Amino acid sequence: MFGILGFNAAMGKRQKQQLTPRPSNTPREYSKEIPIELVIDVFSILSIEDVARCRCVSKLWSSILRRRDFTQLFLKISSTRPRILLTFLHKGRRHFYSIPQDLDPDRNNYSSRISAYYQMHFPKDLGSSDQVCPPILGLICCKSKKPMICNPSTGESKYISLPSAKTKRVKMRPYFGYDPIDQLFKVLCVSSDYVCRVSTLGTKEVMSTWRKVECSISHQPLHSEICMDGILYYLAKCMGSGTPTPYMVVAFDVRLERFKFLPVELNIVGSALINYQDYWKNFAVETTYLYILGMTTSGEIVLSTYYVHEPFYIFYYNTVKKYVVRVQIDFGIEPLRALNCSRISTFLNHVENVELMD
């Protein structure tokens, strides 16, 4: 298919270079153009590295690869081959790596080794916060003083910068959400004085100040956020005497920008929110060394550490067959011990997104 496209493009150039005009009585030869839908289907099965190369071929290909329908199709296909995204700070720069999420079905033991694919890094001192929000549709938000949205899949160092989430008096904690109906990304910030603010990507609002949203219960966000079906969930400690329990799960409707609070009776220290057979559960991990990343679509619980150690492992626990697979991750950094005790954020179900941060 690409040979045909390249051949037609080359023939078009040669025809333009002809000095002798075609006689007016010569019958024209028409060649059928390849339907744009078929071209998009062909592009959608390429790797994201090949998509980046194809953007450089011509203005036509570049415009096709920026179309909304192509981006949506690529995301749909990418969701069938999810990856694990890993990010950490190294020498003042935030680095992003990824590995395939699904285990190799041909493995013959309970231990394996894999080289992480290097995605990108921010320039020094940008995105230097030690925390990031879980990725949504391939995009990720860094919880820095000025929250930044980036796309690790494209390998570009470009990003969208939001207004500063910190003033002289208060500090705000960003949370990343997505409205699947209006197809809008939003960032929710809860400040240390318990005021909630929202900024919407893709609008002029991004360049302005945060706008306030009403919240009936003052709360202090803790950790373990996740966004599913347009609802942003995170754990929080509720302030005041009118709450049923001291700790609650906050459910923020990204589209309607409304809050709901779900009481939690369990100990939430070291816990994680995961999607377990379409129900939310709160899992507590007693060990000091491992915490739950989440659950794969095949029903395996994935665990890791908060910090980089040499060697660095990810563990898969099969809930049906009751066995554990240990996967050693190589980052290609020598020596890896230079990263010891560096905070690492690891996320499941990362999908590759071809959208550029223009």
| Tens digits of residue pLDDT in 281-317 | 433 344 446 788 888 888 899 988 888 877 888 999 8
Instruction: Confirm whether 261 is domain-assigned.
Output: yes
State the pLDDT confidence band at 8, using cuts at 50, 70 and 90: very low
Q: What is the pLDDT of residue 205?
A: 53
216 shares its domain with 288:
no
**Strands 93-100 vs 117-121: parallel, antiparallel or unpaired:** antiparallel
Q: Determine the Cα–Cα distance for residues 222 and 268; give it in Å rounded to an integer.
A: 10
Q: Average pLDDT for residues 22-47, to the nearest whole number?
A: 73
261 shares its domain with 280:
no
Highest mean pLDDT among 48-57, 142-151, 337-346: 48-57
- CA triple 48-50-54, angle to 5 deg: 115
194 shares its domain with 102:
no
260 shares its domain with 166:
yes
Gyration radius of the chain over CA positions: 24
Could you tell me the residue range of the domain that residue 192 belongs to? 162-265
Q: Are the CB atoms for 256 and 206 separated by under 8 Å?
A: no
State the pLDDT confidence band at 338, using cuts at 50, 70 and 90: low
Q: What is the pLDDT of residue 147?
A: 82
Q: Please report, for the domain that includes residue 49, its CATH number.
A: 1.20.1280
User: How many domains would you assign to the chain?
Assistant: 3
3-state secondary structure at position 125: coil
Q: Determine the Cα–Cα distance for residues 326 and 339; give it in Å rounded to an integer.
A: 20
Point out the domain boundary residue: 265, 293, 319: 265
Better-scored residue on pLDDT, 88 or 107: 88
Instruction: Confirm whether 133 is domain-assigned.
Output: no
217 shares its domain with 177:
yes
210 shares its domain with 294:
no
65 shares its domain with 104:
no
11 shares its domain with 98:
no
Task: Please give the order of strands across the beta sheet that includes 323-330.
Answer: 111-115, 323-330, 312-318, 300-304, 291-295
- CA triple 179-172-199, angle to 5 deg: 30
- Name the average pLDDT for the chain: 79
Q: Which two tokens stand for residue 305?
A: 């550490």
Q: What percent of the chain has pLDDT over 90?
A: 31
Q: What percent of the chain has pLDDT over 70?
A: 74
pLDDT above 50: residue 19: no
State the pLDDT confidence band at 246, using cuts at 50, 70 and 90: confident
237 shares its domain with 167:
yes
Q: What is the pLDDT of residue 214?
A: 93
What is the residue whose two structure tokens read 């998509």?
51
Q: Determine the Cα–Cα distance for residues 255 and 337; give it in Å rounded to an integer.
A: 44
